[in-house]
Amino acid sequence: MTDFVNQINKRRTFAIISHPDAGKTTLTEKLLLYGGAIQLAGSVKGKKTAKHAVSDWMEIEKQRGISVTSSVMQFNYNDYCINILDTPGHQDFSEDTYRTLMAADSAVMVIDASKGVENQTKKLFKVCLLRDIPIFTFINKMDRDAKNPFDLLEDIEEVLGIKTCPINWPIGSGKEFKGVYDRGKDEIIAFTANNGQREVEADIIKLNSPNLRDKIGNDLADTLMDDIELLDGAGDELNLDDVRHGRLTPVFFGSALTNFGVEPFLEEFLKMTTPPLPRIADGKEIDPINTPFSAFVFKIQANMNKAHRDRIAFMRICSGKFDKNMEVYHIQGDKKMRLSQPQQIMAQEREVIDEAYAGDIIGVFDPGIFSIGDTICSVGDKFVFSGIPTFAPEHFSMIRLKDTMKRKQFVKGISQIAQEGAIQIFQTLGGGMEEVIVGVVGTLQFDVLLYRLKNEYNVDVIMEGLPYEYIRWIENADIDVKKLSLASDTKRIQDLKGNKLLLFTSEWSINWALEHNKELKLSEFGKN
Ligand code: G4P
The residues, ordered by sequence, that sit 6+ positions from 456 with a Cβ below 8 Å of its Cβ are 303, 413
Return the ligand 1 atom nearest residue 48 CA: 34
| pLDDT for position 193 | 65
Q: Which atom of ligand 1 is nearest to the CA of 45?
A: 36
Which has the higher per-residue pLDDT, 430 or 483? 483
Indicate whether residue 255 lines ligand 1 (CB < 6 A): yes
Question: Which one, of 422, 450, 372, 373, lies nearest residue 95 by Cα?
Answer: 422
Is there an atom of ligand 1 within 6 Å of 19 CB? no
CA 88 – ligand 1 centroid, Å:
15
Q: What is the reported pLDDT for 299?
A: 87
- Which ligand 1 atom lies nearest to the CA of residue 140? 23
pLDDT at 197: 53
Ligand 1 within 6 A of 29 CB? no
Is residue 64's pLDDT more than 50? no
pLDDT tier at 192 (50, 70, 90 boundaries)?
confident
Q: Does domain 13-58+88-95+105-272 have CATH number 3.40.50.300?
A: yes
pLDDT, tens digit, for every residue of 271-319? 999 999 999 999 999 999 999 999 999 988 775 555 555 677 889 999 9
Report the top-level CATH class of 389-527: alpha beta
pLDDT of residue 194: 61
Whether ligand 1 lies within 6 angstroms of the CB of 175 is answered as: no
pLDDT at 65 over 70: no
pLDDT above 90: percentage of residues in the chain: 57
How many whole angstroms from 84 Cα to the centroid of ligand 1?
19
Our answer on whether the CB atom of 144 is closer than 6 Å to any ligand 1 atom is yes
Cβ 141 under 6 angstroms from ligand 1: yes
Q: Residue 92: which pLDDT band, with cuts at 50, 70 and 90?
A: low
Task: Check if 139 has its Cβ closer than 6 Å to any atom of ligand 1.
Answer: no
Give the separation between CA 372 and CA 385, rounded to whole angstroms. Answer: 11
Ligand 1 centroid to 21 CA: how many Å? Answer: 6
The CA distance from 402 to 380, in Å, is 49
Instruction: Return the residue whose CA atom lies nearest to atom 35 of ligand 1.
Output: 47
Q: Is the CB of 20 under 6 A from ligand 1?
A: yes
Probe target for ligand 1 pocket from 18, 19, 21, with the most ligand atoms within 8 Å of CB = 21
Ligand 1 center to 140 CA (angstroms): 10
What are the φ and ψ backbone dihedral angles of 310, each rounded to 5 degrees?
-95, 175
Residue nearest to atom 28 of ligand 1 (CA): 257
CA of 366 to the centre of ligand 1 (A): 36
pLDDT at position 442 is 83
CB of 25 within 6 A of ligand 1: the answer is yes
Q: Is 403 in a helix, a strand, or coil?
A: coil
pLDDT at 42: 43
Q: Is 121 in the pocket of ligand 1 (CB under 6 A)?
A: no
For residue 511, pLDDT over 60 is answered with: yes
CA distance 343 to 314: 9
Q: Is the CB of 48 under 6 A from ligand 1?
A: yes
- pTM for the predicted model, two decimal places: 0.85
Written as one letter, the residue type at 316 is: R
Residue 191 pLDDT level (bands cut at 50, 70, 90): confident
Taking residues 17-44, report their average pLDDT: 76
Across 60-82, average pLDDT: 66
**Distant-in-sequence, close-in-space partners of 389: CB < 8 Å, separation ≥ 6:** 130, 525, 526, 527, 528
Q: Tell the residue nearest (CA) to atom 31 of ligand 1.
A: 21
94 CB within 6 A, ligand 1: no
Q: How confident is the model at residue 25, as a pLDDT?
A: 86
Q: Please give the pLDDT value at position 420.
A: 80
- Does the Cβ of 21 fall within 6 Å of ligand 1? yes
Q: Tell me, what's the pLDDT at 199? A: 53
Q: Is residue 483 predicted with pLDDT exceeding 80?
A: yes
Residue ranges per domain, the chain? 13-58+88-95+105-272, 279-378, 389-527
Distances (CA, A) of 125 to 131, 372, 430, 452: 10, 21, 36, 31
**CB-ligand 1 contact for 67 (6 Å cutoff):** no
Task: Encode pLDDT of 128-185 as tens digits.
Answer: 988 899 999 999 999 999 999 999 999 999 999 999 999 999 999 999 999 999 999 9
Helices (H), 42-90: 59-64
Summarised one tens digit per residue, pLDDT across range 221-239 is: 999 999 999 999 988 999 9
Select the CATH number that applies to the domain covering 279-378 from these four: 3.90.870.10, 3.40.1440.10, 1.20.1340.10, 2.40.30.10: 2.40.30.10
Res 45: pLDDT: 42
Distance CA 342, CA 323 (A): 9
- For residues 296 and 528, the answer to whether their CB atoms sit within 8 Å is no
46 CA closest ligand 1 atom index: 36
Q: Which atom of ligand 1 lies at the shortest distance from residue 20's CA?
A: 4
How does the average pLDDT of the chain come out, rounded? 86
- In terms of phi and psi (left: phi > 0; alpha: psi -120 to 50; beta: otherwise), the region of 420 is alpha
Atom 6 in ligand 1: residue holding the nearest Cα: 23
Measured from the CB, is residue 108 less than 6 Å from ligand 1?
no
Pairing assessment for the beta strands 525-526 and 522-523 based on DSSP bridges: unpaired
* Ligand 1 center to 16 CA (angstroms): 15
Assess contact for 317 and 357: CB atoms under 8 A.
yes
State whether the beta carbon of 23 lies less than 6 angstroms from ligand 1: yes
166 Cα to the center of ligand 1, angstroms: 23
Q: Is the dihedral of CA 470, 475, 476, 477 positive or negative?
A: positive
What's the CA-to-centroid distance between 22 and ligand 1, angstroms?
7
Does 477 have pLDDT greater than 60?
Answer: yes
